[in-house]
Amino acid sequence: MIGKLTGTIDSITGNTLILDVNGVGYVVGCGARTLGAIGTAGDSCSLLIETIVREDAITLYGFADALERHWFKTLTTVQGVGPKVALSILSACTPDQLSLAMGAKDSALLTRADGVGPKLAQRIVMELKDKASSAVAIAIPTAPETKHKRAKSAAANDAPNYTEDAVSALVNLGYGRSEAYQAVAAVVSRGENKDLSSLITQSLKEMAA
């Protein structure tokens, strides 16, 4: 099993490159984000590798970072999502956008990718919404907590949860679901969800900031 390759880029054709490692050319499939990050022919390159073994072929897929490889492996656990579709999704959406889409149940975001229709996008969201990292943790940096902040956070957790209603209201106003979810999550994390009206108002201010 190959986990990482370091060498020189020999050539790039479409979404495939040949990586020269000590005179041996490895054919590696990559998404657009990785290809955009690693350089061009003649450049040194190090890729994290996921090896797919099938009866008729052994195929290597390369990634510039561990998070992108993680999402590739996670996406391919969904029925109907093979390596090519997973790379297409990763080319259309960043890992952070995927985490946010799962948290927001925003299947429309996934349909940006070639080969992903509405039904498949919905299946991906439903199967991965519990496996994805917290969208709030990814989208909002965590600052060191003070005693006051911990108390405020505890009070927020005891408050009624208007998150879904607030997101729906913002979507009805024309905002994207992931964008709305991110704004609402930011307001909730600050303990400003006293009631639905204030949550919507503060979320609108968050998006306008």
- Give the model confidence (pLDDT) of 175-199 as tens digits: 777 778 888 888 887 776 677 777 7
What is the average pLDDT across 158-178? Answer: 72
In this predicted structure, the answer to whether residue 133 has a pLDDT above a threshold of 70 is: no
Fold of 4-64: OB fold (Dihydrolipoamide Acetyltransferase, E2P) (2.40.50)
Residue with tokens 């495939």: 16
Rounded-to-integer distance, Cα 48 and Cα 36, Å: 15
In this predicted structure, the answer to whether residue 156 has a pLDDT above a threshold of 60 is: no
Helix axis angle for 83-92 and 95-104, nearest 10°, is: 90
The predicted pLDDT at position 56 comes to: 87
The predicted pLDDT at position 147 comes to: 42
pLDDT level of residue 137 (50, 70, 90 thresholds): very low
Out of 67-76, 82-91, 164-173, least confident range: 164-173
What are the Cα distances from residue 119, in Å, to 109, 124, 191? 13, 9, 36
Number of Cβ atoms within 10 Å of the Cβ of 129: 14
Average per-residue pLDDT for the chain? 81
Sign of CA dihedral 70, 76, 82, 87: negative
The predicted pLDDT at position 131 comes to: 66
Q: Where in the chain is the domain with CATH 2.40.50.140?
A: 4-64
Rounded-to-integer distance, Cα 66 and Cα 49, Å: 10
The predicted pLDDT at position 161 comes to: 62
Q: Where in the chain is the domain with CATH 1.10.150.20?
A: 68-128
Query: Which residues have CB under 8 Å from 72's CB, separation 6+?
Result: 50, 61, 63, 83, 86, 87, 90
pTM of the entire structure? 0.68
What is the average pLDDT across 61-65? Answer: 94
Hey, what CATH class is 68-128 in? mainly alpha
Higher pLDDT, 101 or 8: 8
Q: 118 with 165: CB under 8 angstroms?
A: no
The predicted pLDDT at position 45 comes to: 95
